[in-house]
Amino acid sequence: MKRLIVALALISGMAHASTNEITVATTLKVSKDAVQLQRQSGTTQIQMAGKRYNIQTLTCTTTNQALTKGSVSSAGWCYMRNLGTNGSPTVNITFDAGVTTGMVLKAGEPALLRLAPAVVVSDFTAAASSDSVDFEFTVIED
């Protein structure tokens, strides 16, 4: 029996000033035949200097679409998810304005990234491998 459970991204921002304003936890569990693997990061608490975030839900087509950070001035954490169901197209993510695919998300898959301070979010693009599929892109200010 094949099972791959990927639970990425528990991100929550708190309304008051403290050193634990963002909480991140990741888990990866693989169970296939004799292969048994589990990786957990535990919970990481992070101070958030800003207070803005941007959430986009867009329909990806086979044409690269630029992803934006909205009013976020200093991109920090990024959460992405292919909102398609089983059999939906993959979402191809590029980090260099549509030149090289650096990441692929299959139907239902999430991804969590810590963005470098100098990253230009508008250089991120998303495109479906075929047809179209809904995609969520969230950026949280650092």
Please state the domain extents for the chain.
Answer: 1-48, 49-142
- Say if residues 26 and 40 touch (Cβ distance below 8 Å): yes
| Per-residue pLDDT at 136 exceeds 80 | yes
Helix or strand or coil: residue 122? helix
- Where does the pLDDT of residue 18 fall: very low under 50, low under 70, confident under 90, or very high at 90 and above? low
List the alpha helices (DSSP H) in the chain. Answer: none
pLDDT of residue 9: 35
Identify the CA nearest to 44 among candidates 80, 9, 79: 9
**CATH, range 49-142:** 2.60.120.10
Of residues 74 and 20, more confidently modeled: 74
The residue-averaged pLDDT of 84-93 equals: 84
Query: 116: which residues sit within 8 A by CB, 6+ positions away?
Result: none
Using CA atoms, how far apart are residues 134 and 55, in angstroms rounded to an integer?
Answer: 13
pLDDT of residue 117: 73
91 against 75, higher pLDDT: 91
C-alpha span between 50 and 114 (Å, rounded): 15
